[in-house]
Amino acid sequence: MILNPYVPKVASLHEAMYVYLSVERAVFEDLQVLVTSWAKENLGPHWHQEMVNDPLNFALKGWDSAGDPYYIVKALAKMPHTPFLRALPLHPDLSDLAWRIFHNRNAWAHYGNDERMNSIKEDIHQLVKFAGAAELDVGDAVERAFAALNSLTHAAAALKVPVHVPPINIDSLTPAAASVPASKERTPRPRIGASWGGLLPETTLELNSKQRDILDPQTGNSARERWPTPELAEQAVTRWFELKPSTPYVHVDPVDGAAVGFLDGHPYLIGYVGEEPETPEGQYRGFQSKAIYVYDGTGLATKEHGTPADLSPEQVGRVKAEIDRRGLAHGEAFRITNYGDLVHQGEDGPVRILTLHAVGA
């Protein structure tokens, strides 16, 4: 039975997220049916118990139900010689695609996925490519859902369709999404980099590309003096220009300085004007890199092409020391945010393990 993924109706983040979740479910379920049927026929009726009990398959620890597709994807992603590969067509990129969708799934499952429209579409695209490489029956259906989302977002971008963002119920935010400790008596905010819900702050500042500065539109003066130091102001302004916002205006809350910018036509908390609230331990800030790096014992490089992360020797040393201190294994996956946060892509979701540059440096 093919689970047909959701076909979006409008170009909204809510619709895009629903497409991702339905495509993921369809691909994982189709893969599960294919692989378990093959395993029963080729590995015997006790294949699941035998695989779990094999000490060489330590990566599959916790696999209780034979029909759980998570562990099938995990085996394809992390076990180069898994027999499950024999259930699927020979394809040079199959393991790499499984590795990518495995880490994407973990991020989504723990509310750690990047909420930008282009990032959501890229995560869907990885599932579409995996379904194609594995020749899954659901391949055509997931490709149609992805094509529909692409068509809607391209049309919306061309027409500059205004985006409606439903208000967020602050009480429903997970602990990882609340970036302001209660002791600070600030308005609870989402994580920096998360989509913005509710009304936009009425105060605006302008990112002026000619002056490469952030200006008060009422006076034309620079707003950099609102940050504690010139270095922090420069970091924030540089980050915001690099995001290439849809409009040059940043909406700023006059009380806590929460700054909202539009990216791909959607509003996000992109940072703060002035002092930022303390970030909870392990929570990353900003937007994660598209590239996923693996740790090989000496440094970080992309899995697909072996391209090293753009880090100084001092930063590489700090990364190695922190990874070794935490006892993380070789082959673990990481991303880097536009805040310089190094984020471990663990099975329990993305966790910041260090920041690659000093605040204000």
Q: Tell me: do 129 and 91 sit in the same domain.
A: yes
Q: Please report whether residue 287 resides in a domain.
A: no
- One domain, residues 34 and 79: yes
219 and 130 in one domain?
no
Tens digit of each residue's pLDDT (9 = 90 or more) over 28-85: 999 999 999 999 999 999 999 999 999 999 889 999 999 999 999 999 999 999 999 9
Residues 264 and 302 occupy one common structural domain: no
Please tell me the total count of domains within the chain: 3
Q: How far is residue 50 from each of residues 60, 64, 78, 313, measured CA to CA in Å? A: 11, 12, 18, 45
Q: Looking up tokens 């100084």, which residue turns up? A: 312
State pLDDT tens for residues 162-188: 444 444 333 333 333 333 344 445 688
Q: Is residue 338 part of a domain?
A: yes
156 contacts: CB under 8 Å, gap ≥ 6: 11, 265
pTM across the whole model: 0.85
**Which of 272, 304, 339 is where one domain is finished?**
272
Number of CB atoms found within 10 A of residue 176's CB? 18
Residue 265 banded pLDDT, cuts 50, 70, 90: confident
CA 15 vs CA 146, 153, 245, 326: distances in Å: 11, 11, 21, 38
The parent domain of residue 322 ranges over 293-355
Q: Give me the numbers of helices (H) and strands (E) for the chain, helices first please.
A: 8, 10
Q: Is 296 exposed, middle or buried (0-12, 13-18, 19+ CB in 10 A)?
A: middle
pLDDT for residue 185 = 59
Q: Is residue 24 part of a domain?
A: yes
